[in-house]
Each structure stands twice: as C-alpha cells, then as structure tokens.
Amino acid sequence: MGYGDDLLITSFASKIKQKYPDRQIVIGKVSAKKAYHSIVYENNPNISDCRNLDPKKPIHVIDYHPGNRPYIDYSKSTNTHYIWNERFKPVAGELYFNENELSNADRIIKESKIFWKKNNDRDYNKIIFMETSSTKVNDKNFSIKHKNKDWGYHNWQALVNNIKRDYLIIHSVHGETKKFNGVFSPSNLDFRLACAIMKKCDFYVGPEGGFGHVAAALNKKAVLYFGGWISPDIIGYDFHENIYFEHKQSPCGSYRNICNHCSEAREKITVDIFERKIRSI
C-alpha cells in the first residue's frame, strides 16, 4: 500500500476542501492523532502540508491510513487473505506538477525520441509509459502479495519484444527492475518525475497498482494486468483496458502465501491477449 493509496484519497480531499474551504485538510489516523505527508500531495491546493500547519487555522483530518482502506472489507478478511469491499469504486485522483517537474519530463521525452531515431528506421505509433514490477516485490512485509500480483518477467519480456518496433516505450525502472533491450529506460527517476513523464506519453502499460491510478488521474488510457488477485470491478477504471483472470477463486486477495491460482493467471493471460489490447488503443 503506497502512492496509489495516497492518490486514491485526493479526489475525496478535494470535495472536503470545497465543503470546508477555511480548514487545513490533512490525511492521517484520527485515533493516533497523526497526519501523514506524501509526495503525491505536493502542490495540491486541497491538501495542506501536515509538517507546516498554521496553528491559528482549523484542521480537518481525513481518517485514511494502512489500516483503513475503503476497498478492503476488514470484517471478513483473514490473516492470509483480503476480502474486498464490492461496493467500492475508485474516483480518479488529482496530481499537481511544478514547472521544474514538467520541464524535466519534456527533457526526458526529447531524449527518448533521440533514442528511438538511433535505434529505428521508421516512425513510432505512440509513446507508451511502462512499468513492469513493483518496488516492493522483495520487501519483507509485502513481497508475497506483489509476487502473486506479478505477471512475470518472461511475459513482460515477450510483450516488449513484440511491440518495441512499433511503439516508443519509456520503461520506468527502480532498484528491483529487470531491464529490457530496445526500450528507453531513463535513470534516477523519482515517483513524481515518472508521473510527469507519463503525462507527456500517450498511454500506460503495466500491472494494477500505483501507476494505474496515476494514469486515471492524468486521464490517460491504460492496459493493466490484474491477474486474479483483485478485480477491476473494485479498484479499476472503466476507461482502462483491465485484463482480469475470470476464475472461481478470483479475486483471491492472498498476501501471506504464494498462490497457485495467481500462477495460473500468469499462464492463462497470454502475451497475445495483452498485445491485442495495446494495439486496439
């Protein structure tokens, strides 16, 4: 649970700010009397910086934290599986960039086009912003969850090989990422700069997660791997192409044990299926 969760609450914060324009809106845990800062909230006129509040102005805390996510039914969940709140439907969030972020994104887009010309003898169709793995795939607390959600490096590699001659792919990489040949992988990207780059691209391709919510916030189309872990009916957006494994065990929500059902999803959701969705956009 990370930047995607932080982004989910921004649309609600906007409504609260409209209702209470004189209050300082912060996100936190009411019972602990704590507020949390996130880089997702930076430059957002509806969310105050909890590290620099005005003691003379009223504060409104939105109770939203890792133990209180609206898409999880905590009363039915177990210590091995999440049970999802089927009544929840996300609303696209809000991101606000500064001039420096947008300028750096423009620079990287230009570099990606130079990369394309050096390696190809024809024009590209569209620019795809792609992420292929979670930063938490080897985290001691979240690794099992993200391994169950993962489509697998071999699938992403095959997909990239099939489309890299037709699309300029900007691959967002981090410490846990395995790189691909023939795609542009800028180094030293932080999350906000990656989001600003996506703003300049045509659409997003990757797994369900934080960047899927970024694509929605930026009103970008996307092709997303959902597997069988969580349903797009719960956490997806209708204007995205959400690839889901329809199965009696879906959505499993397994986060403590490696899931055979999720492994089957990786096999049944083929590269051809993914590629057809991309080319349809």
Q: Domain spans of the chain? A: 3-63, 99-280
Q: Quick one: tokens of 18? A: 């409209």
Q: Which helix (H) or strand (E) holds 241?
A: strand 241-244
Q: With beta carbons less than 8 A apart as the criterion, state whether 229 and 253 touch.
A: yes
What pLDDT is attached to residue 138?
61
CA-based nearest residue to 130, from 205, 182, 187: 205
CA-based nearest residue to 158, from 40, 269, 1: 269
Q: With beta carbons less than 8 A apart as the criterion, state whether 24 and 51 touch.
A: no
What residues contact residue 281 under an 8 Å CB cut-off, 6+ apart? 126, 202, 203, 221, 223, 241
* DSSP class per residue in 97-132: --HHHHHHHHHHHHHHHHHHHHH-SS--S-EEEE--
What pLDDT is attached to residue 246?
97
The Cβ of residue 172 has, within 10 Å, a number of other Cβ atoms equal to: 22
Q: Quick one: tokens of 61? A: 């805390």
What pLDDT is attached to residue 140?
60
Q: For each successive 10 residues of the chain (281 residues), what is the average pLDDT?
A: 90 97 97 94 98 96 94 96 96 98 98 97 96 69 83 95 97 82 90 97 96 98 98 97 97 95 96 97 89
Residue 219 DSSP one-character state: T
CA-based nearest residue to 48, from 33, 56, 36: 36
The architecture that CATH gives domain 99-280 is: 3-Layer(aba) Sandwich (3.40)
Q: With beta carbons less than 8 A apart as the criterion, state whether 39 and 27 touch.
A: no
What pLDDT is attached to residue 173?
85
Alpha-carbon torsion, ordered 97, 191, 232, 171, to 10 deg: 110
Q: With beta carbons less than 8 A apart as the criterion, state whether 226 and 232 touch.
A: yes
What pLDDT is attached to residue 181?
86
The model carries a pTM of 0.95
Q: With beta carbons less than 8 A apart as the criterion, state whether 226 and 236 touch.
A: yes
What pLDDT is attached to residue 213?
97
Burial class (CB in 10 A: 0-12, 13-18, 19+), 203: buried
Residue 141 Cα distances to 6, 75, 104, 144, 255, angstroms: 19, 21, 33, 8, 9
